[in-house]
């Protein structure tokens, strides 16, 4: 027999107090001690013939801890079902003591979804998506590509560093007189231009000669990724080994062909870039629009978000950022990232996302929006085109991972979002 009661700690956190009767405790203890008696070995006794009193003396504490865990796992679902609680994360349990002839009591802190009754969600004001790309923006992007294709050519007609040069140097950094870990490098190119040596710029090398060594200072910003270096000044011993200049390729069809893409002429490159930039701008604008819509929705419908869902969302965001570094060929472990600080910075956005999702789910239910088989097929067809794999193979992977239900929930939220956008008021001049 399970007796339980629920105390509201907040709209999303419940405290469940559970009590099991002495006879249920006694049955569990009897089964546990009998199992141990059959398997334990003690000097002077054959296996399976150790007296119960000795089993209790030598193994009693461990058996009671194990019984407590089993009593919890065997009863917590009964208590949750009785009170119609659907946890969003595993309950946090505080076990009581197991004693023969006594009831077993424990408490569980449970996070649940709040009851959401959405209102005032029609006619929200959101920025209008503008995806137009100007010719000037396309030309700016082409100039960036030219700079990326630039060659560094040795300067041989002089040995004095001039503005705009790139100095090939070896350097070592020091902080408070001690060598700075990871700041001893060889063959680094520093642009002789205003800026910090931390950004590979070194105006302080202007007028230096090849073979000369100069000392340059660089201050670490107050928000630097390595906490112990924030606000400190480093001194760098910089030895100049050579001078190079940057030669940017001519803007012609040969430059386009050297890029190695589908475009073979300048005209084709401009057209391709304009389309890609318009799509990127549209996606960024839609992301901003979505965030503004969620902000407006949450402002009209204050809800409390279960902390576990927020932290889970923070985990997903952080994982996505780290995977992004890896895709770009960067090892995140070498960046000295302060992960806890990054989590703190992501938490507010994660909180908005969770509140938004809760409201979108409630709106989908209220407006009877569902994710159909056709919606799922379209989603898998899109993934198939992106990943270059058969749609059925991708769908089978989702099915194996029991992810079809969560995908359906996400598509249903997308439908709710599209519904809100169809009823929104669009502000001009943004996006």
pLDDT average, residue stretch 368-381 = 90
In a domain, 126, yes or no: no
Question: What pLDDT was estimated at residue 388?
Answer: 87
In a domain, 176, yes or no: yes
Of the candidates 79, 77, 55, which has an alpha carbon nearest to the alpha carbon of residue 66? Answer: 55
pLDDT average, residue stretch 79-108 = 89
Residue 126: pLDDT band (50, 70, 90) is: confident
Of the candidates 125, 41, 38, 108, which has an alpha carbon nearest to the alpha carbon of residue 68? Answer: 108
Of the candidates 15, 16, 17, 19, which has an alpha carbon nearest to the alpha carbon of residue 2? Answer: 19
Indicate which CATH number applies to the domain containing 173: 3.10.50.40
Q: Does 17 score more than 90 pLDDT?
A: yes
Helix runs in 164-305, H state only: 253-259, 266-300
CA distance 252 to 270: 12
Between these two residues, 50 and 59, which has the higher pLDDT value? Answer: 59
pLDDT average, residue stretch 381-388 = 88
Q: In the structure encoding, which two tokens stand for residue 330, read together?
A: 């960067």
Q: Which domain holds residue 243?
A: 151-247
pLDDT average, residue stretch 18-38 = 87
Same domain, 101 and 169: no
Q: Does 41 score more than 80 pLDDT?
A: no
Question: What pLDDT was estimated at residue 274?
Answer: 93
CA distance 84 to 78: 10
pTM exceeds 0.75: no
Report the interhelical angle of 135-148 vs 266-300 (nearest 10°): 110
Indicate which CATH number applies to the domain containing 46: 3.30.70.1050
Cβ atoms 135, 102 nearer than 8 A: no
Q: Which residues pair with 247 in a beta bridge?
A: 151
CA distance 192 to 176: 26
Question: What pLDDT was estimated at residue 48?
Answer: 65
Answer with the one of 214, 247, 280 that is the final residue of a domain.
247
pLDDT average, residue stretch 224-240 = 89
Same domain, 219 and 277: no
Same domain, 300 and 375: yes
* Residue 201 DSSP label: B
The per-residue pLDDT of the chain, averaged, comes to 88
Question: What pLDDT was estimated at residue 49?
Answer: 65
Q: Does 428 score more than 70 pLDDT?
A: no
Same domain, 83 and 166: no
Q: Does 10 score more than 70 pLDDT?
A: yes
pLDDT average, residue stretch 82-92 = 90
pLDDT digits (tens, 9 = 90+) for 136-179: 999 999 999 998 888 999 999 999 999 999 999 999 999 999 99
Strands 425-427 and 125-127: parallel
Residues written for the chain: 431
pLDDT average, residue stretch 39-58 = 72
Residue 431: pLDDT band (50, 70, 90) is: very low
């Amino acid at each position: 027999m399970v007796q339980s009661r629920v105390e509201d700690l907040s709209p999303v956190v419940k405290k469940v107090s559970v009590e099991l009767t002495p006879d249920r405790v006694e049955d569990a203890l009897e089964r546990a001690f009998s199992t141990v008696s059959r398997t334990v070995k003690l000097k002077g006794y054959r296996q399976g013939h150790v007296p119960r009193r000795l089993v209790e003396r030598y193994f009693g504490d461990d058996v009671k801890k194990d019984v407590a865990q089993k009593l919890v796992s065997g009863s917590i679902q009964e208590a949750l079902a009785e009170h119609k609680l659907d946890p969003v994360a595993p309950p946090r349990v505080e076990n009581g003591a197991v004693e023969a002839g006594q009831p077993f009591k424990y408490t569980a802190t449970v996070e649940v979804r709040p009851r959401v009754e959405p209102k005032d969600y029609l006619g929200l004001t959101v920025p209008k998506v503008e995806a137009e790309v100007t010719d000037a923006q396309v030309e700016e992007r082409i100039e960036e590509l030219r700079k990326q294709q630039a060659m560094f050519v040795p300067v041989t007609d002089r040995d004095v560093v001039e503005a705009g040069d790139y100095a090939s140097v070896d350097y070592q950094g020091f902080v408070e007189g001690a060598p700075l870990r990871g700041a001893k490098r060889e063959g680094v190119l520093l642009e002789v231009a205003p800026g910090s040596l931390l950004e590979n710029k070194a105006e302080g090398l202007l007028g230096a000669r090849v073979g000369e060594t100069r000392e340059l200072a660089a201050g670490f910003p107050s928000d630097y990724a390595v906490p112990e270096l924030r606000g400190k000044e480093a001194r760098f011993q910089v030895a100049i080994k050579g001078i190079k200049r940057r030669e940017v390729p001519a803007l012609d069809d040969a430059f386009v062909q050297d890029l190695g893409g589908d475009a073979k002429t300048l005209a084709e490159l401009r057209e391709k870039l304009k389309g890609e930039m318009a799509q990127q701008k549209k996606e960024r604008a839609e992301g901003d629009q979505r965030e503004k819509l969620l902000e407006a929705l949450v402002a009209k419908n204050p809800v409390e978000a279960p902390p576990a869902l927020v932290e889970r969302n923070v985990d997903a965001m952080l994982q996505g950022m780290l995977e992004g570094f890896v895709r770009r060929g960067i090892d995140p472990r070498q960046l000295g990232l302060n992960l806890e600080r990054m989590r703190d910075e992501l938490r507010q956005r994660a909180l908005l996302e969770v509140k938004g999702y809760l409201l979108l789910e409630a709106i989908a239910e209220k407006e009877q929006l569902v994710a159909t088989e056709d919606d799922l097929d379209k989603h898998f067809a899109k993934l198939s085109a992106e990943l270059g794999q058969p749609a059925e193979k991708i769908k089978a992977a989702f099915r194996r991972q029991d992810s079809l239900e969560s995908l359906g929930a996400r598509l249903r939220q997308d439908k709710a979002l599209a519904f809100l956008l169809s009823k929104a008021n669009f502000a001009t001049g943004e996006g």
